[in-house]
Structure 1
Amino acid sequence: MASQSQLVKLETDVQLKASAEQFFDVFCNRTHYISKVCPEKVESVRIHEGEWGTQGSIISWNYVHDGKKCVAKQVIESTDKENFKMTFNTLDGDLLEHYKSFKHILRVTPQQKGSIAHWSLEYEKGKDDHIPDPHTKLQLVCDVSKDVDAHLITQPA
């Protein structure tokens, strides 16, 4: 009998010094800027269809994960600019070699000082249930978030 695959979620919060508006603006409207902030982690971000920060737009990421160069092609599945929330759904790339589906969900919450970036990775394991949960991918997302935050507070956009 075939194993039933299910959606799994990994989540974490990253404390930011930058405002929710500043941080969300980079991930939503200036996604390509991330490769300038931390080129050793994200080599490039390109748009293929649509416009930055627009639902339905397709972007690709060239990034380094666990010491390996990787590629991800994603569609911006949803964007809620009022509530600083967006979802990137993976269409193609290294992640889909191990997972049937993979989404990155970002929600940034304003705080009295700074903000909190809440990242959720939602994924469905493929044929091989022995594939480890993507804890190192979640760590990469946190590290990139911290780099973007550090850049924003030293050189406001």
Structure 2
Amino acid sequence: MESIIMRRFAGSDSAEELTTLLHRAYADHAAAGLVFFASYQSPEDTLSRLDRGECWIALEQETIIGSVTVTGAYGTPPGYPSSADAGSFWQLAVDPARRGTGLGHRLLTLAETRIAALGASRVVIDTSSQATDLLAWYSRRGYASIGTWRWDVTNYDSVVLAKNLAV
């Protein structure tokens, strides 16, 4: 893990490489029939999603092996169960070959730290109600369900999860 560098995504980085990572990272869910947007989004979609926050990438020997995009102000659609003081993150992804190494936890910690630095006292995310592995992973890291939501770019109901950030 010492050879892994975490830094902001830059204009010189490849949206295609990041999109390919996202597709690989979410492929198991897609194979199980859960259509996470990250499993099929285009490089243009990736860039659009990056424009809504700070994208951080994990690099090993100049190859993108992880990512997360964060924001301190999370604009949500009407009815979404979130509070005004919440930030969020999305596109949390780890190369499948790096699973179990702690990289996901490092990216999550980075996301929470950046969200707090951006002024949010709480983080709100959502994931598929059928992704029991992800729900358990987030639960072990202090996230609790606060409601449900249905996005028009997925084929499942989402569980909305929240965690209060340390001040």
- TM tier relative to shorter chain: 0.3 to 0.5
Normalised to the residue count of structure 2, the TM-score between the two structures is 0.32
Normalised to the residue count of structure 1, the TM-score between the two structures is 0.33
Which is strand-richer, 1 or 2?
1
More contact order relative to length (CA 8 Å, sep ≥ 6): 1
